[in-house]
Amino acid sequence: MKKVLVTGAGGTPSKNFIQSLRESPESFHLIGVDADKYCLCRAETDEKFLVPYANDNLYLDVLIDVVRETKAEFIHAQPDAEVFVLSKNRNKLGVLSFLPTHRTVEICQSKLESYKMWKKAGLKIPKTIKINNEEDLKKAFMELGKILWIRAIFSPGAGRGSLKVDKYHIAKGWIDFYNGWRNFTASEYLSPQTVTWMSIWKDGELVVAQGRKRLYWELASRAPSGVTGITGAGVTVSNPIVDKIAQDAIFAIDKNPNGIFSVDMTYDANAVPNPTEINVGRFFTTHYFFTKAGLNMPYIYIKLAYGEKPPKIKKRINPLPLGLCWIRGVDYIPTLTTVEQISKYEREYKTRISKIKGYTC
């Protein structure tokens, strides 16, 4: 039985990954880690461990200790911050992973670096300016149009820090609030219509890809940008133009893609999908949608990672029927647990930290 360690195990994206593996034709022993003690309680894994956040210096040490204790064989991360750390330190973990080069991860996680690569490759993309200071913001309003899309260069979660804005003083106040000078970009605003193309690659060869159009964001009225990162409804699509642009966007960054590449595109006024970001090394949040529809991409991904033959797929690109709709809200049935259980995770965590500090002293 394969032992798979899943980070961010109590979050919705990892829940979708875990559910997909549970519904595969193979049994897995799943090990869940999470930096949030409350989220950890709802992780649907065989074992659970509290770990530091990815930006903590002890994160890697604690994770390696969990790997040793559980004898995990493979590790998968859904949170972007953890994808980055695991990618950078992949040779230190003592487990299998299935990621592209670290340079590819760096570029994909930077909206500005991705933009530069796509511009160099001649892709149709929204004009973008890095906002270093107020003069750059004024320049953006003069050059990019009356409506701007302001967003963070590094944003762990769709829409975080983003804003559709048509007034300079509001844009300035927004960037001030986020302390975002030199860390934000301004782009020409396209439209609210988006599409995602989620794909798995093995050594430069496309294994499978499926398009999905988002119909609306759940709780959109509670976010200033209207983007919450929580898809309310999605529908399967198949569009040769989307398929080509997504692949062009990937190859502009990595000529030999490996692992998961989910290309987000926004339609412009001429109904042309423009790449806006690539979620790399992880699946989009609601990938359980595809599993329930008959395309278990996490299982395909695991089989490839282990060097095994994946299950047969009737066609590589958009194998699912068109028009399948996935409607969702808050994903979780409430978890019944106890304060003592939460305290237990905390005690185990403190013991582990003490042990690690003892090793390094």
For residue 90, the 8-state DSSP code is G
In the chain, what is the straight-line distance between the N-terminal and C-terminal CA atoms, in Å? 37
Distances (CA, A) of 164 to 183, 197, 276: 17, 24, 15
β 148-152/184-188 pair status: antiparallel
Is the pTM higher than 0.85? The answer reads: yes
* Pair 224, 179 in one domain: no
Owning domain of residue 48? 2-97+338-360
Judged against a pLDDT cut of 70, whether residue 227 lies above it is answered with no
Q: Identify the pLDDT of residue 360.
A: 52
Structural domain includes residue 131: yes
Please give the Cα distance from 288 to 209 (Å, whole number). Answer: 14
* Pair 216, 275 in one domain: yes
Contacts of 268 (CB under 8 A, 6+ apart): 124, 126, 190, 191, 274
* Pair 236, 356 in one domain: no
Judged against a pLDDT cut of 50, whether residue 361 lies above it is answered with no
* Pair 301, 317 in one domain: yes
Please give the Cα distance from 37 to 32 (Å, whole number). Answer: 12
Distances (CA, A) of 179 to 93, 145, 172, 173, 360: 34, 24, 10, 10, 35
- Assign 328 a pLDDT band (cuts: 50, 70, 90): confident
Percent of the chain scored above 70 by pLDDT? 90
Structural domain includes residue 11: yes
- Assign 26 a pLDDT band (cuts: 50, 70, 90): very high
Instruction: For residue 163, give the 3-state DSSP assignment.
Output: strand
Please give the Cα distance from 16 to 292 (Å, whole number). Answer: 10
- Mean pLDDT, range 298-325, rounded to an integer: 94
* Pair 183, 196 in one domain: no
Asked if residue 96 lies in contact with residue 307, where contact means CB atoms within 8 angstroms, the answer is no
Judged against a pLDDT cut of 70, whether residue 335 lies above it is answered with no
Q: What is the pLDDT of residues 110-125, one digit of tens each?
A: 999 999 999 999 999 9
Percent of the chain scored above 90 by pLDDT? 76
Structural domain includes residue 299: yes
- Mean pLDDT, range 21-32, rounded to an integer: 97
Q: Identify the pLDDT of residue 327.
A: 80
Structural domain includes residue 122: no
Q: Identify the pLDDT of residue 218.
A: 55
Residue in the block written with tokens 């983003």: 162
β 184-188/205-217 pair status: unpaired
Judged against a pLDDT cut of 50, whether residue 333 lies above it is answered with no
Contacts of 29 (CB under 8 A, 6+ apart): 1, 2, 3, 4, 46, 47
Q: Identify the pLDDT of residue 296.
A: 98
Return the amino acid letter for 156. Answer: P
Structural domain includes residue 106: no
Q: What's the CATH code of the domain at 314?
A: 3.30.470.20
- Mean pLDDT, range 345-351, rounded to an integer: 92
* Pair 131, 227 in one domain: no
Which DSSP string corresponds to 176-204?
Answer: HHTT-TTTEEEEE---S-EEEEEEEEETT
Q: Identify the pLDDT of residue 285.
A: 87
* Mean residue pLDDT across the chain: 90
Please give the Cα distance from 292 to 47 (Å, whole number). Answer: 25
Closest CA to 349 of 26, 107, 56: 56
| Range in 200-204, 282-286, 325-329, 330-334 with the lowest mean pLDDT | 330-334
* Pair 352, 291 in one domain: no
Q: Identify the pLDDT of residue 330.
A: 60
* Pair 216, 322 in one domain: yes
Judged against a pLDDT cut of 60, whether residue 83 lies above it is answered with yes
Q: What's the CATH code of the domain at 60?
A: 3.40.50.20
Q: Identify the pLDDT of residue 230.
A: 64
Of 167, 188, 209, which one is at a domain's C-terminal end? 188
Q: What is the pLDDT of residues 70-81, one digit of tens each?
A: 999 999 999 999
Q: Identify the pLDDT of residue 192.
A: 87
Q: Identify the pLDDT of residue 157.
A: 55
Maximum pairwise Cα distance, the chain? 62
Structural domain includes residue 112: no
Structural domain includes residue 62: yes
Q: How many domains does the chain have?
A: 3
* Pair 6, 62 in one domain: yes
Return the amino acid letter for 69. Answer: E
* Pair 30, 53 in one domain: yes
- Assign 340 a pLDDT band (cuts: 50, 70, 90): confident
- Assign 359 a pLDDT band (cuts: 50, 70, 90): low
Structural domain includes residue 250: yes
Please give the Cα distance from 62 to 345 (Å, whole number). Answer: 14
* Pair 173, 201 in one domain: no
* Pair 206, 268 in one domain: yes
| Tokens describing residue 112 | 């500005």
Q: What's the CATH code of the domain at 152?
A: 3.30.1490.20
